[in-house]
Amino acid sequence: MKAIFMVRILFNFLIFFFLVSCSANPGTAFLGPVFTGVKSGSIYQTSLSYTSNKVFEDFKEELKSKKNDVSNKSKSIINNLNNILKDPPLLTSLKIDTIVISEIVEPEPLP
C-alpha cells in the first residue's frame, strides 16, 4: 500500500516538474546552432542556424507587441462605445416650420 502511494507521489512530482520546466528559457535559442555545429562541423551552417533562430525570435516578439497594441486599442474603442451607449444623446424637441403639400402629377401615357 505504501509502495503504491510512493509511486503516485513520484508520478505527480514528475508531472509537476515537466509542466513547470517545459517553458522555453531565453538561452535555449543558442542550443540549436551548437548541435548543428557539432554535427556538421561547418561554421557557415552554424551561423545560418543561429541567424534564423534570432530572426524568428525577433519576429515573434514583434508580433506579440503588435498583438498587444491591437488588443489595447480594441479595448479602448469598446470602452468608448460603452460609455456612449450608457449616456446616449437624446433629441428633446423638433421644430417644424411649414408643411407644403404638392399636387400629384401624373405622367402622360405613351402611345
Q: pLDDT value at position 73? A: 92
| Rounded distance between C-alpha atoms, residue 47 and residue 39, angstroms | 13
| pLDDT tens per residue, range 18-64 | 666 555 555 555 556 656 666 666 676 777 777 877 888 888 899 99
Residue 99 lies in a domain: no
Q: State the residue for C-alpha cell 534570432.
A: 54
pTM for this entry: 0.40
Residue 58 lies in a domain: yes
Residue 21 lies in a domain: no
Amino acid at 72: N
The domain in which residue 42 lies consists of 28-85
Residue 46 lies in a domain: yes
Count of the separate structural domains present in the chain: 1
